[in-house]
Structure 1
Amino acid sequence: MTLRPLALSALALLAACGGPGPLLIAVPPAPAEGRVGIGFASVEVLEVSLPAYADGEEIFLQGQGGALTEAGGAVWADDPSRALTLDLSRALGELTGAQTAPDPWPFDDGPEAQVDVRLAEFAPDLTRGAFVLRGQYFVASQDGSGRDRAAEFLVTAPLPPEPGPAAIAAARAQATLTLARQIAAEGLR
C-alpha cells in the first residue's frame, strides 16, 4: 500500500524533470477566395491516405536526393491524415458551396460524389523551397451519372529560405487549398 503513493510521486517527479516537450504545430486554414462551380450538390471526402513517413505526428523535411529527416523539436498538433481530410473537406465546401463532409457521411441523404486522395509525397521540400503534395485523386459519382474521374497532381506552396514551424504550417495550408481548388475545377465539374 505504501509503495503505490511512493511510485506515483516518483513518476510525477520524472515527468517534471522531462522538459517542456516538443512544440505542437497547428495548421490554420488558408482563406478560400472565389467560387468554383461543380456538377455535384454534395461531396464526401474519404480519409486522405498519406505515405508511411507522414502518417505520424513527426514533421519530416525533404532534402537533397529526396532524403527525409525529422524536424527536431516540433510535431503536428493533430493526426495529419485526419487534419488533412478535414481541411480538404472544409476548403471544398467553401470553394464550391456544395454540402461537403468527411467520411463517414453524417447526413440522411447520401453524397452525390466521393473524393479519395492518395498522397505519395507530403513534406516541406527544402531543395524546391516549397511544401509539396504529390499523388492521385479519384472522384466517384454516387448519383448514377458515371462521371468518375482520376488524376495525378503535384501541388506546391512556397516556403521562405529558412522555414520555421509557422511557415511550414502556412505552406501546408496553402497547398491543401490549392489541391482543393484543383479537385473542384477538374475532378468535380
Structure 2
Amino acid sequence: MTRIFSALALAAALAGCGSDARYATITPEPEARIPSLYGTIEVVEVTLPTYAEGEEIYAQDPDGAIVAFGPLWADLPSRAMTLQLASTLDQITGATVAAEPWPFRDFPAAKVDVRVEDMLATSRGTFRLAGQYYVAPEELGRNRSGRFAIEVPLPEDAGAPQIAAARGQATSQLAEQIARSGLR
C-alpha cells in the first residue's frame, strides 16, 4: 500500500497547488448475457458510507484509517454508480432498466436496491466494493437479497485514474452478480 500512498502524497501536493482534476469511472463493456425474469427494472439510488458520499476519492492507509486521496470524482459516486448499474444491467439482461425515478407511465416489474458498506482503495492494493443488494418484484417472483464483496487489483503506484477504472470494473462485476443471483 506504500505505493498507493506515494501517489496519495503526490496527489495531495497537486491538490494543494489548486489542481481541480476530476476522474470519471470507465465502464467496461459487459461480456455476460443473462436473461432476466423481469422485463422492466428500476435501480434505486445506491447508498454509500458517509466517507464515500462526497466528491473525494478515499483510500485506506496501512494503519486502517480511511483518508481522502486528494483528487475528486467527476460525478457524485451514488449517482454515477446508480447510472452505471442501470446501464450495465440493461446491457446484460436485455430488460428495460432505468435509474430512479422511474421515467415510464407503468410501474417497473422489479426494483434493485444496493447498499454499499465499503468503497475504497485498500491497504492491500485493491479497490474494494462491498455491501448488500435487494431485488423486490412488483408482482411476479420472490424477494431476493445477496451480499457482495468485490476486490479489483490495483497496479503498483496506483493513482486516481487506476482507482476510477477499478471502481468501474467493480460496479460492472456487481451488476453481473445481481443479474445472475437476483434477476433470474
When the two structures are superposed, what TM-score results if normalisation uses the length of structure 1? Answer: 0.85
Q: Which residue of 2 aligns with 1:184?
A: 179
- The separation in 2 between residues aligned to 1:88 and 1:126, in whole angstroms, is 26
- Equivalent residue number for residue 155 of structure 2: 160
Cα RMSD after superposing both structures: 1.4
2:89 matches 1:92: yes
- Structure 1: tracts of 5 or more residues without a match: 1-17
How far apart are the structure 1 equivalents of 2:34 and 2:127?
A: 24
SS at match of 1:91: helix
> RCO greater where, 1 or 2, for CA within 8 Å and sep 6 or more?
2
Distance 1:52 1:22 in 2: 22
The question of whether the paired residues in 1 share the 8 Å contact of 2:93 and 2:179 is answered with yes
Go from structure 1 to structure 2 and tell me whether the alpha carbon gap of 1:37 and 1:65 turns closer, same or farther (over 3 Å shift): farther
The alpha-carbon deviation at position 126 of structure 1 amounts to 3.0
Instruction: Tell me how far apart the structure 2 counterparts of residues 131 and 111 of structure 1 sit (CA, whole Å).
Output: 32
SS at match of 1:50: coil
How far apart in 2 are the matches of 1:130 and 1:48?
21
Identity across matched positions, percent: 46
- Are the counterparts in 1 of residues 32 and 176 from structure 2 also a CA contact under 8 Å? no
3-state SS, counterpart of residue 152 of structure 2: strand
Matches within 5 A, 1:96-175: 96-127=93-124, 129-142=125-138, 144-175=139-170
From the CA coordinates, give the structure whose radius of gyration is larger: 1
TM score, norm. by length of structure 2: 0.87
Cα distance in 2 between the residues matched to 1:65 and 1:186: 35
Q: How far apart are 1:34 and its partner, in Å?
A: 2.7
Q: Deviations over 1:39-81 (max 9, x none)?
A: 1111100000000000000111013353111112x10010111
Q: Name the counterpart of 1:77.
A: 74
Change (3 A) 1:19 1:61: closer
The alignment covers a number of residue pairs equal to: 169
Q: Take 2:18 and 2:62, find their aligned partners in 1: how far apart are those partners? A: 32
Where structure 2 has 5 or more consecutive residues not aligned to the other structure, the ranges are: 1-15
Q: Which aligned runs of 4 or more in structure 1 are off by greater than 2 angstroms?
A: 18-22, 63-66
Question: What secondary structure does 1:49 align onto?
Answer: coil
